[in-house]
Amino acid sequence: MFIGVCTQIMKRRLKPFALATLLLLVAQSLNAALPAAVDGQPVPSLAPILEEVMPAVVNVHTRTRVQVRTSPFFDDPFFRRFFDFPSVPRERVQQSLGSGVIVDAENGYVLTNNHVIDGADDIAVRLSDGREHPAEFVGSDRDTDLAVIRIDAENLAELPLDESERLRVGDFVVAVGNPFGLGQTVTSGIVSALGRRGLRGLEYQNFIQTDASINPGNSGGALIDLRGQLVGINTAIFTPSGGNVGIGFAIPAGTAAHVMTQLVEYGEVRRGSFGVEVQDLDERLREALGVEELRGAVITQLARDSALREAGLKAGDVIVAIDGRKVDGAQGLRNIEGLLAVGTSVRVDYLREGARRSASVPIEEDLDARISGRRLDPRMEGMMLVRMPERTRLRGVLVEEVRRNSPAWAAGLRAGDVIVALDREAVRSLGGFRERFPVPGDRALQLEIRRRGVGYLVTLE
């Protein structure tokens, strides 16, 4: 084998230095061990960095109890009543594994992916030293696939998020996680691309792409650079075959830090809104609008109370930058908008008839478009309410999601329900529903909902 390798090297006529290097590597592989030093120089190793990093990366275990019907006729009320089927279904426990990163040792905060803990009844965290602790749910954000959980433990290591945004394509990175439940595993690669988007199911997308091997179970784990800095949270892979093909994605540390701050403070992410609809700037629109800019977001429609409208912008304007950050299209604008702090103002640069202009725009929440139940009434804790889509004729408020084991879940509310009445008074919109609160806590709330075309009454005590 050694002679064959040497023959192939000679055929390629490599330079003497390259030839010597390759021969040295081959010789070392035959000895099945890398020496501690070559020509008196230490061999490069990631071990010193990983010794500092790995104690902060944890394994996340979840358990979810799923009801199992004992008969296919259980959902039919006629058969259930006629044959007197038992009313209590059996349960099956589903278990899943993922990863997480301790980013605040003092408070025990662990950052992970929302899909790792979503719907779980029990969450546990196993540390690198073998200790295992139950975890408390703090908050999650489905739109960025991030979640924060908390453990009560001493002598924790931490790996703070690096928000410097100095990461570049070609930088070496290392992924640390718990693939396939094997335990802590380290893989290395480079940053293949920045600002990737196009993954299904996520509203805000600005991923780091890497060829460091990421597999099921790595989700929520750490992506670090060679300084040992936490630059991203591993979240997804592109896999036509189900296995790793060298295309993995991580959420940038800056995004993770912004989301985590709000989850810890509010239990949810409170986002501002420009109140605008946009589309990508393409060649046809460039000619029609008379602009030379290659990229941007073209305003197609502004809401009546849009912050951009009040700042003087109108349909046909092309947004090219926000606070100095370039806007490369509709999704780029959406990503920036989702991370702006409510209550602040930003500078929006835009083009109109070829001339560059700017405006100061305040960032405010659109509570008539989206609001959490907890902000209306503690008894509705755990659900997210959104405006009904314009394409539907049904009036009311759409329940976008309901967290398991929350008061809303216990009351029987589920994602996809439509609230059509509150205390027997019709609900026409989210804005009208919101104005009905607060409701005295000593009086039960009665919600009338529609679920798959069927009406139900739900009482919140």
Cβ-count burial of 435 within 10 angstroms (0-12 exposed, 13-18 middle, 19+ buried)? exposed
Numbers of helices and strands, H then E, in the chain = 11, 27
Estimate to the nearest angstrom the gap between the alpha carbon of 218 and the chain centroid: 14
For residue 61, indicate whether it is catalytic. no
Catalytic residue among 96, 140, 219, 372: 219
Q: How many CB atoms within 10 Å of residue 102? A: 25
Q: Is 72 exposed, middle or buried (0-12, 13-18, 19+ CB in 10 A)?
A: exposed
Dist CA 316 CA 309 (whole Å): 12
For residue 108, give Cα distances in angstroms to 105, 150, 176, 295, 326: 5, 5, 19, 43, 36
Find the length of the chain.
461
What lies within 8 Å, CB to CB, of 358 at 6+ separation is 347, 348, 349, 350
Find the catalytic residue in 104, 141, 145, 328.
145
**Which position among 96, 99, 104, 115 bears the catalytic label?**
115
Is residue 71 among the annotated active site residues? no
| Distance of alpha carbon 358 from alpha carbon 311, whole angstroms | 9
**Rounded to 5 degrees, what are φ and ψ at 417?**
-65, 150
Neighbouring-strand partners of residue 165: none
Phi then psi for residue 23, to 5 deg, are: -60, -40
Local structure of 440: helix, strand or coil: coil
CA distance 409 to 380: 9
Annotated active-site residue 99? The verdict is no
Q: Which residues are identified as catalytic?
A: 115, 145, 219
